[in-house]
Each structure stands twice: as C-alpha cells, then as structure tokens.
Amino acid sequence: DAGVIQSPRHEVTEMGQEVTLRCKPISGHNSLFWYRQTMMRGLELLIYFNNNVPIDDSGMPEDRFSAKMPNASFSTLKIQPSEPRDSAVYFCASSSQGFLNSPLHFGNGTRLTVT
C-alpha cells in the first residue's frame, strides 16, 4: 500500500496566483479530509468528504478556497487567488468506514509558500 499520496510536495507561488493541491487517498478508504497546519494554530480541518460527497466545509477559510472529489481516488484543494497568509502545510488524510475507531492516514503534505 503506497499510502496517501499528495502532490506537489512544495509549492512556491506569488500572491494572486491560483494554486492546486492534489491528493490520492488509500484505495478502499471512503473518508477524505483536508487539513492545514501552521505553527500558531496547529492542525485545522478544512473540509471532510464521505463517499466523494462534501459533508463539512465549515473550516474552509474563505471563498478563495474550494475542494473537489470527482471520484474515490482523487481530490483537489484549490486556492484562487492565493495570499501570503495561506502559507502553511496542507495535509490530506483518508480513513476507512468505521472512522470513529479507525486511524487517519495522512499524506506527507504540501508545503505552500505564497510570496
């Protein structure tokens, strides 16, 4: 099992540009999460998908952020336009049915720097 795969690992972009982060969850997992991690705030949930359907997007900071999950094996998180305060590490995580007592499997994250 390759685990959760995220790309790119690093992204440096200028303010105002569009950024797209990608995630491939573990095969068979039906829950997918996007998190953002900063030193100040730690890990914060952005959005949660179950069976490809967005269940909770209340953590998405602003309308500049959007996420899609067109199928069970792929999800994207898009920021348009990006701002310096979006600089953080973005993690994708997946989990199997019975999430309550199953671990989250995290990818290795995308480190985003917006200048």
Partner 1 sequence: KNQVEQSPQSLIILEGKNCTLQCNYTVSPFSNLRWYKQDTGRGPVSLTIMTFSENTKSNGRYTATLDADTKQSSLHITASQLSDSASYICVVSESGYALNFGKGTSLLVTP
Nearer to partner 1, 82 or 110 (CB): 110
Report the distance separating Cα 114 and Cα 111, nearest Å: 10
**Whether 28 contacts 96, CB under 8 Å:** yes
CB-count burial class (<10 Å; 0-12, 13-18, 19+) for 2: exposed
In the stretch 58-87, what mask flags binding to partner 1 with x, by CB under 8 A? ------------------------------
Window 18-47: residues binding partner 1 (CB under 8 A) = 31, 33, 42-45
Residues that bind partner 1 (CB under 8 A): 4, 31, 33, 42-45, 48, 50, 55-56, 91, 93, 99-109
